[in-house]
Structure 1
Amino acid sequence: MKKICWYLTVSTFAALMLVGCSNEQTEETKSETGQYIEAKEAAWNYVKEQNWDDTAEEDWQNAEVTEVVADQSYEVLDEHFEGETALRVTFNDKGTVLTGTPSILIDPETNAVIGYVPTE
């Protein structure tokens, strides 16, 4: 009887460990495989509308996305979003001498452009 309880305990523990590791991989894979593809596309469309795309590589799918708080260091287009969490989309530059492409702030709920990072 003790052996059966021991096997059940070890099996249950092993199964729980596998499930926990499996969920961790799924979260990592989400962010690596384009969880933010709609935010990246919205940001790229805004960059093109503003004619800022001349310094950025057109591989917008590979843009870097980070969560930030929209504060005074950003040009927030709507005061309603100041102090709120936003997605900052940063595009790869072509490596030109010109000032780089501004990073774009995106509302994580609607994927709408809410601001950008002013460049010099």
Structure 2
Amino acid sequence: MGKGLGFIILNVFAALLLIGCSGEQDNDGQIDSGQYLEAKEAAWAYVNEQGWDDNAEEDWRSAEVTEVVASHRYELFEDAYAGKEVLRIQFHDPENVIAGTPAILMDSDTNKVIGYIPGE
């Protein structure tokens, strides 16, 4: 009976571990953005340069960072990035904004702006 009980406890523990780990990745690809301050800062500089900062909240550090696969439906500056995984940086807009701030696409290795997604 001791081996049977141990086997059941081990299986329950393994199931709980799997369930707990699977919940960590349910953020639509959102990643720990605290490590991407340089990318956020470069993206914010680009937003300012383009004059798109009028609608965005000024706290650029709170921008959401996600990993996406670049495609031709985005405004890419170089076609070579199509099909590659890049960072998407989305700044927060205040409520009741007609046109949102475009999301900025960044090369995660160089923190170079490679394109954008027009705001909605």
Partner residue in 2 for 1:44: 44
CA contact (8 A) 1:55 1:96 kept: no
SS in 2 for 1:36: helix
Structure with bigger gyration radius: 1
- Per-residue deviation at 1:83? 1.0
Partner residue in 2 for 1:115: 115
SS in 2 for 1:35: helix
SS in 1 for 2:32: helix
Identity across the alignment (%)? 58
> Could you list the runs of 5+ residues in structure 2 that have no partner in the other structure?
1-30
Partner residue in 1 for 2:7: none
Partner residue in 2 for 1:31: 32
- Per-residue deviation at 1:79? 1.0
The number of residues matched between the two structures is: 91
- Per-residue deviation at 1:43? 0.5
SS in 2 for 1:93: coil
- Per-residue deviation at 1:31? 1.9
Partner residue in 2 for 1:69: 69
> Could you list the runs of 5+ residues in structure 1 that have no partner in the other structure?
1-29
- Per-residue deviation at 1:96? 3.6
Letter in 1 for 2:73: S
With the length of structure 2 as denominator, give the TM-score of the two structures. 0.70
RMSD of aligned Cα (Å): 1.8
| Cα distance in 1, alignment partners of residues 39 and 112 from structure 2 | 8
